[in-house]
Amino acid sequence: MSLGISFALYRRPGEAPLYAIQSVGEPTVLSDLEALGEQAGYVFAPFHLDNKTPCLLINPDKQGQYSASTATYLRDQLSLCNLDSPHLQNRADSAIRYKEAFNVYKEQLGILNFHKLVLSRSTRQIKGDDFDLFETFERACSAYPTAYVYVCYTEKSGLWLGCSPEVLLQGSANAWQTVALAGTQQLNKSNNPLVWDQKNKLEQQLVTDYIQSQLDTMGIENTHSDAHNSVAGNLVHLKSEFNCFPSATDKIGRVVKSLHPTPATCGLPKEEALQFILTNENFNRGYYAGFCGMIDKDKNVDLHVNLRCMQVYDNYLELYAGGGILSESILNAEWCETEYKLQTLLAIIK
């Protein structure tokens, strides 16, 4: 049964969860990211914009603070929705597939002069009878206080849940923030200082340099911090924060289009890496490694990269993770990094 309802639940770090519900009509389909900011609403955008995975703008007619009654209402609505997928039979993950793709990526880094390529994977979990989407959302909010936690459903995108550590763009008309987030290691529970190898340092620097270059090209005044440790659940990343000072003529959509996808989810050079991924990754990322969040009528923007996420089907959960491949990358280390990232979601699933 097809319903008109579309919704997002979202929890910004340090704040109470909110909801945005469109109960009538379909979300606006944006064919170009430059249109972002011209209308208010909740944005749900894919890794790569095409006819199958459009950029969607939920136009809420109901907004407020999330509560048990919100969950009850949306649970009833979702029970009438079709969450089945004709693609499930072809999307099972395997270590063999990842190894084959890794070898292709590593080889092409040198041949095609890529600085970095991001390789992702998905893995499927059977959805148990005791799985409840809204309880999972609440557990994620509790377990990951510094993450942007969301649930989003539209008929076009399907149902997604994520716990993102990465800001794409946020702020007001006079001041924006974005981050360069890359490099990954497990959280060290001891008191020993974290040590970053050259591969992870270089990976983070590539992202920093790219964002700096894009902002400079657009003529947007900016400053950024030195790379420092940023804890995200069971992981630690290297992060540099950018403060941007846009002029009255700088548009949200233009900046987002310039930044997305960053080298943290795609690679460098950007356009060549994107085409390589679309040809060689062997599955469609869909809305994984896209972005989501609110843009309000006053042009306040709060967009986050869709990482540590899963798509929810009737009987399955499809979980996503990825990592940057550089010439220094080692297969087992990269595989283990994706396993660590998947634990962010596995830890909150019942």
What is the pLDDT averaged over residues 183-193? 80
Task: Say if 16 falls within a structural domain.
Answer: yes
Domain range for 259 is 6-346
User: In Å, how far are 93, 105, 133 from 73, measured between CA atoms?
Assistant: 34, 46, 13
pLDDT tens-digit series, residues 244-288: 999 888 899 999 999 999 999 999 999 999 999 999 998 889 999
**Under a CB-based contact definition with an 8 Å cutoff, are residues 253 and 36 in contact?**
yes
Tens-place pLDDT, residues 212-230: 999 999 999 999 999 999 9
Stretch 163-183: mean pLDDT = 94
What would the pLDDT profile of 300-323 be if each residue is shown by its tens digit? 999 999 999 999 999 899 999 999
The DSSP H or E segment spanning 337 is helix 331-346
Look at residue 223 and tell me if it is in a domain: yes
Question: What's the CA gap between 215 and 32, in Å, rounded?
Answer: 19
The CATH number that applies at residue 103 is 3.60.120.10
Give the pLDDT of residue 89: 47
3-state secondary structure of 243: strand
Domain annotation covers residue 1: no
Strands 301-305 and 291-295: antiparallel
**With bands split at pLDDT 50, 70 and 90, how would you rate the model's confidence at 129?**
confident
Nearest of 201, 119, 128, 174 to residue 298 by alpha carbon: 174
Residue 335 lies in a domain: yes
pLDDT in tens, 340-350: 999 999 999 97
Whether 273 is covered by a domain: the verdict is yes
Q: What are the tens digits of pLDDT across the range 150-161? A: 999 999 999 999
Q: How many domains are there within the chain?
A: 1
Q: What percent of the chain has pLDDT over 90?
A: 81
Please report, rounded to a whole number, the percentage of residues in the chain having pLDDT higher than 70. Answer: 96
Residue 3's pLDDT band (boundaries 50, 70, 90)?
low
